[in-house]
Structures are given as C-alpha cells and as structure tokens.
Amino acid sequence: GQSLEQPSEVTAVEGAIVQINCTYQTSGFYGLSWYQQHDGGAPTFLSYNGLDGLEETGRFSSFLSRSDSYGYLLLQELQMKDSASYFCAVRGFSGGYNKLIFGAGTRLAVHP
C-alpha cells in the first residue's frame, strides 16, 4: 500500500528555521515532491527530489533519503507569508496507476 506521514502542525517565529519531515511507504518510488497551499488557495509546486540529497531553491530546501524512505522540507528565514499548509507527495504505483499521492499536509503557523 501507499502511505505518507508528516506532522499535522508546526509553529515557528519569524526569522527562524523550520523543518517539515515526511516518511513514506510506496510501491515503485519515483520521487518526492513538496507543495504549498495557503488557506483558500490552490496547491503550488515547491520542489522535487528524485535522487538522494539536498535541493535548494531560495529560502526553501528539500532533502531525500531513499534508503530511509524519508524526506524533509526546510524553510529558512521564515516570513509571515510562509504560514500555509505543506504537502509532501510521492510518485508511485497504486491501483495500477503511476500517480502523485499526497500526504495529509502540515499546517505551518509563523508568529511575529
């Protein structure tokens, strides 16, 4: 079966660093993605890791360890606008299809 686990909520202060972890179990792993969704908004793509290691895009970085079935999203220099839900998603096979399977999301609250 397919499953992803990520914390339901994380709280941090402006300027801090926060790490959102994601562990997964899937058939035929083809990479880990991260999406951001503000309240009332649409999910937007942040990053993709197909191989082990760290990918950096500005203040956001994403890490993958395929041997540990684990990844994380690192947000640095937090800003109020980073308050949103963050979803990890794996591409894997389920029900005969190659598709993106999303985690339940981590709600990040950034406080002044």
Partner 1 sequence: DTAVSQTPKYLVTQMGNDKSIKCEQNLGHDTMYWYKQDSKKFLKIMFSYNNKELIINETVPNRFSPKSPDKAHLNLHINSLELGDSAVYFCASSHRQGDNEQFFGPGTRLTVL
Q: How far apart are CA 61 and CA 54, in angstroms?
A: 7
List binders of partner 1 among 37-96 (CB under 8 A).
37, 41-45, 48, 85, 87, 89, 91, 95
96 versus 112: smaller Cβ distance to partner 1? 96
| Phi-psi sector, 41: left (phi>0), alpha (psi -120 to 50), beta | beta
Q: Which of 9, 104, 109, 111 binds partner 1 (CB under 8 A)?
A: 104
15 versus 41: smaller Cβ distance to partner 1? 41
15 versus 28: smaller Cβ distance to partner 1? 28
Amino acid at residue number 36? Q
7 versus 43: smaller Cβ distance to partner 1? 43
Stretch that binds partner 1, among 19-27, 59-67, 68-76, 99-107 (CB under 8 A): 99-107
Q: How far apart are CA 11 and CA 63, in angstroms?
A: 20
Report the number of secondary-structure helices (H) and strands (E) in the chain.
0, 11
Query: Residue 39 gets which letter from DSSP?
Result: T
